[in-house]
């Protein structure tokens, strides 16, 4: 007779493996326009192919200098205070000029990285492989130094923690 503990134990088949997700890391440098076009492209794929939970992306932005951080914090505080007041008809307030010059200036360049996580289940290995080949093969992504990080790679743990920490 079998012990009672053996009756409730889950047995996994030997031919199935738990497939972990993969990461695609793209470094756009300071080119915000290409990064936003790439985001729109991935959002279109997510909608068109119904890949909401299987294809997720997050941006990591690092400021190049310490000075833009202080000015952007100051401009965001003035933007909050000016949003409570009546906006001018011409839209040329001091805080508005600061915000436009802060976000539109090339001098305050930031390093933009996009991390895409592909999370397909075990029975979708072919789809997973096709997306790993398709995304870096697009023209928008070729210039962004694509890097594929799989589950066995040494950078996988740090990339996974970094992805989870981003908003």
CATH number at residue 47: 3.30.70
Residue position matching structure tokens 């400021």: 63
Backbone Cα Rg of the chain = 22
Position 135 scores a pLDDT of: 95
- The conformation of residue 167, written as its DSSP 8-state character, comes to -
Could you give the CA distance from residue 57 to residue 18 in angstroms, rounded to a whole number? 22
Determine, yes or no, domain membership for 8: no
Give, as one character, the DSSP assignment of residue 81: H
Specify if 121 maps to a domain.
yes
pLDDT of residue 10: 67
DSSP string across 95-161: HHHHHHHHHH-SSS-EEEEEEEEE---GGGHHHHHHHHHHHHHSHHHHTT--EEE-TTSTTHHHHHH
pTM of the model: 0.65
Percent of the chain predicted with pLDDT > 90: 54
Whether residue 16 has pLDDT greater than 60: no
CA dist 52 and 153 (Å) reads 25
Total structural domains within the chain: 1
Which helix (H) or strand (E) is 60 found in, with range? strand 55-63
Give the CA angle between residues 112, 115, 121 to the nearest 5°: 170
Provide the b/e sequence for 32-67 (b: ≥16 CB within 10 Å). Answer: bebbeebeeebeebbeeeebeebbbbebbeeeeeee
Give domain status of residue 89, yes or no: no
Range of the domain at 119: 16-82+95-165
For the stretch 80-107, pLDDT in tens is 333 333 444 444 433 333 333 344 444 4
Q: How confident is residue 73, by pLDDT bands cut at 50, 70 and 90? A: very low
Could you tell me if residue 87 is inside a domain?
no
Query: 3-class SS at 86?
Result: coil
């Amino acid at each position: 007779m079998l012990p009672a503990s053996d009756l409730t134990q889950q047995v996994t088949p030997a031919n199935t493996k738990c497939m972990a997700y993969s990461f695609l890391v793209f470094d756009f440098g300071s080119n915000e326009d290409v990064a936003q076009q790439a985001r729109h492209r991935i959002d279109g794929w997510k909608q068109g192919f119904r890949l909401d939970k299987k294809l997720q992306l997050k941006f990591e932005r690092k400021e190049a200098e310490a000075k833009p951080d202080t000015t952007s914090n100051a401009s965001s505080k003035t933007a909050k205070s000016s949003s409570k007041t009546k906006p001018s008809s011409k839209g040329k307030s001091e805080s508005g000029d600061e915000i436009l010059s802060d976000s539109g200036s090339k001098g305050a360049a930031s390093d933009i990285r996009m991390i895409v996580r592909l999370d397909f289940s075990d029975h979708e290995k072919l789809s997973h492989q096709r997306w790993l080949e398709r995304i870096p093969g697009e023209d928008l992504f070729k210039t962004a130094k694509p890097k594929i990080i799989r589950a066995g790679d040494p950078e996988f743990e740090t990339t996974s923690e970094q992805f989870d920490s981003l908003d």
